[in-house]
Amino acid sequence: MDHLTPRNGVLRLSVLAADIAAASQTPTESPLMSLSPARPFRPSRSLCVALALMPVLGVGTLAACDAARASASPGQPVKVGLGSAGGQPTVQAGDRLRVSADGGVLTEVTVTDPRGRQLVGGFSAGATVWTSRAKAAPDTKYSVLARTKDPQGATDEAKESLTTGKVAKRNRLTFDPRPHGEVVGVHDPITLTFAFPVRDRTAVERRLTVTTDNRTTGAWTWKSVHGKDRIVWRPEQEWKPGTKVTLRAELNGVDSGGGRFFTKDYGLRFTVGRGTAVRADLDSDAYRTPGLGLTPALWQGPGG
């Protein structure tokens, strides 16, 4: 292989040219070999590398190199994986669903719940992961259709399903002001009353948010009334009439203590002094019904 040894930065290709000429010629049969099939020419790896460095010479031989290389390493199918956005293989209530592709990219993902609603989601920067916006409900079967493309451009699809874990014990809450009750006054706080004791108050409180259109500030306080745990949000000063208020209680999947989970999200909206409170659809942009577009998702009313 002297002709492939670098010398003064230039490859010696004198012998290689002869190799190419010999390889490109049609083999002649010998009378003694006429009964045996001719062996096809298979270029060596070193010959392929050297040919790639040459200009137009040996085009047919380069094609043979490519064919040999392709047959030696066929593309592997893209593997589709399911799990939670946190990286766990199992999906519990409150988790966001995650669909991943190994060995290629995702081109389309459709996740459908038993009611026929499709979960809205988004792709990662490299299109190898898709994550839902909505959080999973407990003991629910989701059907997944994932379309993929491998590095060679070949497309495929995978159909899978997953069922979220069951919840043995549940907690729930009610609101004050109640939806469609009395007009909310300037002195009325926001009160959440829980059906069962809340042992992990920190885990619950961090999932509660109150926002207003005029940046009203306030704070949460806990109390127990008639054996029921309550959390109350009061503004530092009385509400200004006309203030628009939104409460988000994103509790789906939160353990309130002792293995008693919330299995729903809650929301509330009202305008101080101008009307009653109304229910808020926290995940109105998280589900899509085919033919109808975006639809409300996991709104849960009082006592839900």
pLDDT one-digit tens code per residue, 148-175:
999 999 999 999 998 988 888 999 999 8
User: What confidence score (pLDDT) does residue 281 get?
Assistant: 53
Gap between the terminal Cα atoms of the chain: 80
Last residue of a domain, one of 72, 103, 123: 72
3-class state of residue 299 by DSSP = strand
Q: Give the pLDDT score at 117.
A: 80
| pLDDT value of residue 220 | 97
Closest-CA residue to 254 (of 173, 156, 147, 152): 173
Cα 268 to Cα 94, 173, 178, 204: the distances in Å are 19, 13, 9, 17
CA atoms within 13 Å, Cβ hemisphere of 179: 16
For range 270-284, the mean pLDDT? 70
The last residue of a domain, from among 109, 135, 163: 163
More confident: 193 or 65: 193
Mean pLDDT computed over 259-273: 87
Q: Cβ distance 75 to 151 under 8 Å?
A: yes
Query: Are both 62 and 98 inside the same structural domain?
Result: no
Q: Residue 20 pLDDT more than 80?
A: no
Boundary residue ending a domain (72, 106, 134): 72
Residue 302, in any domain of the structure: no
In whole angstroms, give the CA distance from residue 85 to residue 92.
11
d(CA 103, CA 179): 50
| Residue 188 counted as domain residue | yes
Q: Is 32 helix (H, G, I), strand (E, B) or coil?
A: helix
What is the residue-averaged pLDDT of the chain?
Answer: 75
Q: Is the pLDDT of residue 147 over 70?
A: yes
pTM reported for the whole predicted model = 0.54
Greater confidence (29 vs 62) lies with 29
CATH number, residue 269: 2.60.40.3710
Q: What is the pLDDT of residues 67-97, one digit of tens each?
A: 434 443 456 899 999 999 988 888 887 788 9
Burial 89-101 (b: 16+ CB within 10 A, else e): eebbbbbbbbbbb
**Number of domains, the chain:** 3
Does residue 184 surpass a pLDDT of 80?
Answer: yes
pLDDT at 87: 86
The answer to whether the beta carbons of residues 122 and 133 sit under 8 Å apart is yes
The larger pLDDT score, comparing residue 42 to residue 105, is at 105
Q: Are strands 169-171 and 260-262 parallel, antiparallel or unpaired?
A: parallel
Asked if residue 196 is part of any domain, the answer here is yes
Q: DSSP letters along 83-127, please? A: EETTS-SS--TTPEEEEEEESSEEEEEEEE-TTSPEEPEEE-TTS
At 94 the pLDDT is 78
For 32, 49, 183, 232, the CA distances from 2, given in Å and listed in that order, are 33, 14, 94, 86
Mean pLDDT of 24-52: 45
